[in-house]
Each structure stands twice: as structure tokens, then as C-alpha cells.
Amino acid sequence: MELRNNTRISGFLLLGFSEDPKMQPLLYGLFFSMYLITMLGNLLIILAILSDSHLHTPMYFFLSNLSFVDICFTSTTVPKMLVNIQTQSKIISYAGCITQMYFFLLFVELDNFLLAVMAYDRFAAICHPLHYTVMMNRPLCMLLVLMSWFVSVLHALLQSLMVLRLSFCTDLEIPHFFCELNQVVQLTCSDTFLNDLVMYFALVLLATVPLAGILYSYSKIASSIRAISSAQGKYKAFSTCASHLSVVSLFYCTGLGVYLSSAATHSSHSSATASVMYTVVTPMLNPFIYSLRNKDVKRALKRLLEGKL
């Protein structure tokens, strides 16, 4: 692949949400608060799982990885936006934009794969409880996480290299709060047919396959729960996957909402506002969902906090 770009391009302008100076302190306070909550919540989940030997199981191993990825995911976009608001500058360098785009694609794809892996874990636990320890042995769990990283790194690298081959026009304003792939590609003067082809093929493949796996796993889980005779048994089985199902619904519904809203309104600013839901709000809510709906996590968090006080 030939890598070439317009060497005169030094950076882009991230227009963000509002040009109104009066709105900047409000936006700064709002996103700074959400970022702190996201960092603290996910960090507490990781520390609680590491500190409690009862949580050293496949389900919580995947949850700790998801919390780590959510921290990285949010850190890819929010700190730069906060710096731009604080310094009253909208500039992001060309290298910084490509780097931000790479890590955003990496972590959003990791979120996607980890949610699918966690769905398979719940499928094995509920549908094949007697073989669970064999099906979800430690080497397999490590392999599933490593494969998720491997595919995500390759995808992010491919998309970034595809952007590097493009030349850009004089209009370098990105109507978003971060360097979103589609928004950056729209600024180019080059032919984007190959970029669009790779972008949408990867989107269909890497989003559809994990989602299909999640839907298949939960269809089997639903069948298994219906086959349980006692109401208490049904509740116990459902409660083990309720938190994950809530996170999956939040992640995919907000992501789908972004693309539907942007397609319906054709407004980049509307798309940027909608993107906040899955780039900032979802990672912030995940720790609350898992801690409020999971007795084991609540107990581990209580022990952790009592030990620190």
C-alpha cells in the first residue's frame, strides 16, 4: 500500500459541541465530572476483582478486562477535549489525530469483542454448568482476550494506514469532539472509494459477527432458563447474566442510535452529541450496572473500601 499525504497539513480543528464561550465552562465541568466517575468506577471494579479471590473466575476476569478497556476508551477522547476547552484551542495535530483515531478504533472494537466473549461465558455457565470449568479453562480465557486484542489492533492499524494514503483539502474542520474516522475521510481531496469499501466491510464484519454470537448465546440461555422448573432457579440463572445483558443493550443501542440519528438528520453536530452516549456515558455507567446488580461485586467493593479506610 502506498503511503502518502499532503505534507502541508499540520493539523485539524475539532469544532466540538458549541462555539458559545458561555457554554465552555459548563461543558468542561460536565465532561470532567463524567471522566472522573468513569475512571474511579472502573478502577474500583478492577481493584475489587484483583483483591477478592472469590472473583478470580472467567466471568470476572473478562469484566476486569472490560473495565480496563473502558478506561482506555474514554481516555482516548475526553482528555484532549478538556485540554482544548481549557486552552480555548481547537487544534489537534495531524499525527495526534491519526493516533487518536487508531486508539479509538482499537478500544471500541475491543469493547465489542469482550462483550461477545462474556456472552459466550454466560452461555457456557447456564447451558453447560457441569462442563463449565472445562469449557472456560484459564488458557482458553487468555486466548479469547488475546485474540480480541489481535484482531482489534489489526483492524485499527488497517484503517489508520488507509487514512495515511489520503491527501487533504484546505477545509480541515472536523465537526466532532474527536477524530472520528468517517469525519476525517470526508475532508480528503483523494478518491475515497477504497477507504469507504474497507470501512463499511469492516463495520459489517466486525460488528455483525460478535453481535450474532451474543444473540445466539442469549437465545440458548433463554431456552435453558425456560426449561428450569422452579421460579427461584429461573431467577438465579437470569440474575447471573442480567448485568451483562444490560451493558450489551446499552452499548449496541447507543451505538446504533448514533448512526441512525446521523443518517436521519445529516447533521455532524447531532452525530457528535449522540456519540457522547457510547463514548462517555456507557463506560461511565458500566461499573454502576455491575456493582448495583451483582452481590459478589458489591461485597468485594465493600471489603475493598473498608480495607482502605
For residue 231, give the amino acid letter: A
For residue 239, give the amino acid letter: S
Closest alpha carbon to 294 in 57, 33, 35, 113:
57
Residue-wise pLDDT for 118-177, tens only, equals: 999 999 999 998 999 999 999 999 999 999 999 999 999 999 999 998 988 877 889 889
Confidence category of residue 261, pLDDT binned at 50, 70, 90: low
The pTM (predicted TM-score) of the whole model is: 0.91
Phi, psi angles (nearest 5°) of residue 10: -105, -25
For residue 82, give the amino acid letter: L
> Above 50 in pLDDT, residue 26?
yes
Question: Could you give the C-alpha distances from 270 to 175, 222, 301, in angstroms and in order?
Answer: 10, 37, 38
Domain ranges of the chain: 11-306
Confidence category of residue 218, pLDDT binned at 50, 70, 90: very high
Half-sphere exposure of 118 (CA within 13 A, CB side): 25
For 109-187, strand residue ranges (E) read 173-174
Residue-wise pLDDT for 38-74, tens only, equals: 999 999 999 999 999 989 999 999 999 999 999 999 9
Buried b (16+ CB within 10 A) or exposed e, 221-236: beebbeeeeeeeeeee
Q: Determine the number of helices (DSSP H) and then strands (DSSP E) in the chain.
A: 11, 3
> Above 90 in pLDDT, residue 297?
no
**Superfamily of domain 11-306, CATH level 4:** Rhodopsin 7-helix transmembrane proteins (1.20.1070.10)
Question: Mean pLDDT score of the chain, rounded to an integer?
Answer: 87
